[in-house]
């Protein structure tokens, strides 16, 4: 009835919040509420007769398990299956008016498919995208919808940030995209970009991610015109004073929409030169991940979307951030070795029944004892057998599998430390792997080594790296359906713009995860993930320009018992030996507690 009452034929429910975050707060999990699917990415299309859920390869199996029979799961990418917008067009579905909350889709697309051409394609197919001011899921959710957190915002110390917010703002305003003659100001809507730029963090708004719901306005005309739109109750007096020194005024979160409309009208209560009509055609600049509602509020003609200069600056870690990340990965390596030793004893030697949730919780316990621990970086991914073939499977307490000694077990998990964000994956087998398993594991390892060992000229992007990661798997006609991402510093696990297979060139200071995998649906999965830092390589020929490579930061061993060494080259064998020896050299001195005998013995035997 709600769909009909809204005078549309269908309603689209994306997984994102109004900041287009990959990880929304509980109050923004509309897709999960309406479908039962808890994955981080997906889109639902609801009509009065049919319900469709579109998911990528990471969630094909999970979605089918979680949703009821009233939903049809569309496996995007499988057998030519298109995304939701293309599917509506190509299959001539009976949809003429498509309703959507404009806060939850990307500006310029009018279709939420992250492509500026999709909206025009829908319109050309006589499918009209209708922005609805009321979110229909919220109306159904009603009073049971969780409230947003009131947790206080805190200042992220310089000893972890490595650069003051004053310096970051000065560098931002020197960007070629923010010339006062061409630009009124910058609207920042990405939560992790605001947190990074202002050196602020907040626990509680978003699970595992220390950001806070806000918008930030930065005028190019005056240092005194910066406004943080945020729940004022979350800003303590010390933080308010800190913001004053940055010339940032706090305004209520909801006032951003009225502010944007003032700009559209050529007026502003704070910026003198906006009190006249904007006849000089200056623009409001935003990042690419900005909502359609922002575009509607400002006016498309007044908006310029660009690759965020904040995102680009944040991607290059400064020396203090790099030092912190290395220290965090060392401590986390110690926690991982203690956990690996205990798992090996309990499951392999003592034949105890340990389930997926218990295994993940044990690792969290070890991590929680480490310095600067602030919680998990994301939900523990802990899968045995067929659950390991689900790249984003997260077990539930007392409702998951006991770890099987006859198949693989995958643990992909991480912690948030004040000096670094962790993302590590290792694959285990607590019995004797089959030849098929060992061969597949070895192919994944070879892809991992190929990326970690690569040396490349300045300007190289993630596209050729993608071939390195997959090449060994392709030899056996195997592949995997996810990319390889980028790691933050006590912020998001996925940052960017660099990554594999993105087309953004790597630069010294970039950090990515090297994580090829293979997933045999219904049987088992494999993934090996380590974090690597882009560094400049010593020049062998001065006239040949700048060459780059990778420095391995993760300090967690890779188990040689899972490898078919007959498939490895001499160089690959040496890499594996060197990696594990490096882990021993760096971690053994840290295992000095009274109870570390088991961990030292386990590490020494690898």
At 209-232, the pLDDT tens digits run 999 999 999 999 876 689 999 999
| pLDDT higher at 159 or 175 | 159
Angle, helices 597-605/319-343, rounded to nearest 10 degrees: 100
* In the predicted structure, residue 268 carries a pLDDT above the cut 80: no
Of 204-218, 352-366, 472-486, 538-552, the range with the lowest mean pLDDT is 538-552
Does one domain contain both 368 and 427? yes
Average pLDDT on 48-62 reads: 89
Domain final position from 289, 313, 337 = 313
Give whole-number Cα distances, 260 to 78, 215, 267, in Å: 41, 11, 9
Name the pTM for this structure: 0.92
Predicted local distance difference test score (pLDDT) of residue 49: 87
Does one domain contain both 203 and 266? yes
DSSP 390-428: STT----TTSSPBPPTTSEEEEEE-EEETTEE--EEEEE
pLDDT-above-90 percentage for the chain: 76
Predicted local distance difference test score (pLDDT) of residue 177: 84
Q: What is the CATH number of the domain that holds 378?
A: 3.90.230.10
**What whole-number distance in Å separates Cα of residue 21 and Cα of residue 35?**
19
Does one domain contain both 389 and 518? yes
Query: HSE of 195 in the Cβ direction (CA atoms, 13 Å)?
Result: 22
Grade residue 454 by pLDDT with cuts at 50, 70 and 90. Answer: very high
Predicted local distance difference test score (pLDDT) of residue 119: 59
Average pLDDT on 190-201 reads: 98
**Mean pLDDT (the chain, rounded):** 91
Predicted local distance difference test score (pLDDT) of residue 488: 84
Domain final position from 313, 337, 353 = 313
Give the list of residues 6+ apart from residue 160 with CB closer than 8 angstroms, or none: 320, 321, 324, 418, 419, 489, 490
Does one domain contain both 281 and 389? no
**What whole-number distance in Å separates Cα of residue 69 and Cα of residue 51?**
10
DSSP 254-308: GGHHHHHHHHHTT--SS-GGGSS--TT--EEEEESS-BHHHHHHH-GGGEEEE--
Average pLDDT on 63-79 reads: 92
Predicted local distance difference test score (pLDDT) of residue 43: 95
Predicted local distance difference test score (pLDDT) of residue 255: 97
**What whole-number distance in Å separates Cα of residue 281 and Cα of residue 279?**
5
Predicted local distance difference test score (pLDDT) of residue 4: 76
Domain count for the chain, please give it.
Answer: 3
Average pLDDT on 356-370 reads: 98
Average pLDDT on 406-410 reads: 97
Does one domain contain both 321 and 298? no
Does one domain contain both 549 and 418? yes
* In the predicted structure, residue 270 carries a pLDDT above the cut 50: no
Predicted local distance difference test score (pLDDT) of residue 89: 81
Predicted local distance difference test score (pLDDT) of residue 113: 39
Residue 6 tokens read as: 């809204």
Structural domain including 296 reads 153-313
Predicted local distance difference test score (pLDDT) of residue 275: 46
Predicted local distance difference test score (pLDDT) of residue 414: 97
Does one domain contain both 385 and 401? yes
Average pLDDT on 551-567 reads: 98
**What whole-number distance in Å separates Cα of residue 195 and Cα of residue 295?**
23
Average pLDDT on 569-582 reads: 98
Domain final position from 96, 118, 144 = 144
Does one domain contain both 140 and 162? no
Q: What is the CATH number of the domain that holds 16?
A: 3.40.350.10
Does one domain contain both 102 and 161? no
Give the list of residues 6+ apart from residue 436 with CB closer than 8 angstroms, or none: none
Torsion of CA 336, 337, 338, 343, to 10 degrees: 90
Does the bond joining 501 to the residue before it have cis omega, within 30 degrees of 0?
yes
Summarize pLDDT for 518-549 with one digit per residue, the tens. Answer: 999 999 999 999 999 999 998 776 667 899 99
Summarize pLDDT for 115-168 with one digit per residue, the tens. Answer: 444 556 576 667 888 899 999 999 999 999 999 999 999 999 999 999 999 999
* In the predicted structure, residue 506 carries a pLDDT above the cut 80: yes
CB-CB contact of 32 with 64 (8 Å): no
Predicted local distance difference test score (pLDDT) of residue 366: 98
Does one domain contain both 65 and 85? yes
Strand order through the sheet with 248-251: 248-251, 226-230, 214-219, 183-188, 283-287, 303-306
Does one domain contain both 375 and 260? no
Residue 478 has a CB neighbour count (10 Å cut-off) of 19
Does one domain contain both 213 and 334? no
Predicted local distance difference test score (pLDDT) of residue 86: 85
* In the predicted structure, residue 453 carries a pLDDT above the cut 90: yes
């Amino acid at each position: 009835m709600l769909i009909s009452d809204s005078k549309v034929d269908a309603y689209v429910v994306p997984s994102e919040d109004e900041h287009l975050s990959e990880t929304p707060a509980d109050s923004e999990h509309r897709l999960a509420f309406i479908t039962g699917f808890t994955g981080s990415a997906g889109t639902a299309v609801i009509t009065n007769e049919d319900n469709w859920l579109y998911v990528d390869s990471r969630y094909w199996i999970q979605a089918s398990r979680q949703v009821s029979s009233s939903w049809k799961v569309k496996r995007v990418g499988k057998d030519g299956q298109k995304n939701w917008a293309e599917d509506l067009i190509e299959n001539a579905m009976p949809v003429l008016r498509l309703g959507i909350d404009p806060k939850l889709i990307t500006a310029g697309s009018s279709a939420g498919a992250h492509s500026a051409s999709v909206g025009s394609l829908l319109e050309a197919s006589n499918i009209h995208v209708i922005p609805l001011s009321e979110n229909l899921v919220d109306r159904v959710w009603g009073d049971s919808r969780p409230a947003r957190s009131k947790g206080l915002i805190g200042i992220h110390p310089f000893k972890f940030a490595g650069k003051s917010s004053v310096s970051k703002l000065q560098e931002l305003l020197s960007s070629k995209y923010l010339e006062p003659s061409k630009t009124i100001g910058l609207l920042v809507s990405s939560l992790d970009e605001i947190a990074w730029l202002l050196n602020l963090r907040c626990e509680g708004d978003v699970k595992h991610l220390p950001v806070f719901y806000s918008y930030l306005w930065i005028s190019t005309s005056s240092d005194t015109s910066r406004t943080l739109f945020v729940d004022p109750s979350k800003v303590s007096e010390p933080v308010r004073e800190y913001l004053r020194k940055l010339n940032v005024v706090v305004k209520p979160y909801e006032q951003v929409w009225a502010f944007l409309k003032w700009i559209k009208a050529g007026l502003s209560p704070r910026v003198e030169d906006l009190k006249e009509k904007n006849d000089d055609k200056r623009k409001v600049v935003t990042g690419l991940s900005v909502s359609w509602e922002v575009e509607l509020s400002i006016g498309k003609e007044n908006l310029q979307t660009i690759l965020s200069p904040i995102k680009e600056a944040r991607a290059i870690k400064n020396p203090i951030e790099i030092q912190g990340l290395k220290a965090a990965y060392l401590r986390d390596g110690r926690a991982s070795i203690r956990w690996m030793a205990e798992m090996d004893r309990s499951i392999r030697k003592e034949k105890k029944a340990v389930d997926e949730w218990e295994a993940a919780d044990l690792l969290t316990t070890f991590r929680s004892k480490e310095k600067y621990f602030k919680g998990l970086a994301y939900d523990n991914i802990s899968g045995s057998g067929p659950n390991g073939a689900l790249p984003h499977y997260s077990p539930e307490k007392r409702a998951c599998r006991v770890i099987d000694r006859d198949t693989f077990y995958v643990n992909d998990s991480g912690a948030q430390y004040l000096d670094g964000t962790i993302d590590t994956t290792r694959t285990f087998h607590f019995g004797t792997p089959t030849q098929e398993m060992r061969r597949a594991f070895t192919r994944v390892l070879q892809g991992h080594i190929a990326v970690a060992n690569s040396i490349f000229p300045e300007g190289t992007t993630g596209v050729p790296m993608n071939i390195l990661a997959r090449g060994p798997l392709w030899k056996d006609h195997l592949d995997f359906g996810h990319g390889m991402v980028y790691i933050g510093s006590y912020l998001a696990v996925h940052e960017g713009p660099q990554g594999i297979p993105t087309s953004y060139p790597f630069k010294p200071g970039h950090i990515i995860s090297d994580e090829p995998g293979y997933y045999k649906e219904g049987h088992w999965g494999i993934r090996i993930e380590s974090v690597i830092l882009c560094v400049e390589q010593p020049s062998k020929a001065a006239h040949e320009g700048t060459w780059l490579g990778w420095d391995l930061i993760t300090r967690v061993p890779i188990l040689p018992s899972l490898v078919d060494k007959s498939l490895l080259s001499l160089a690959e064998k040496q890499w594996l030996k060197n990696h594990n020896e490096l882990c021993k050299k760096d971690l053994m001195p840290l295992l000095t507690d009274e109870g570390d005998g088991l961990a030292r013995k386990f590490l020494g035997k690898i």
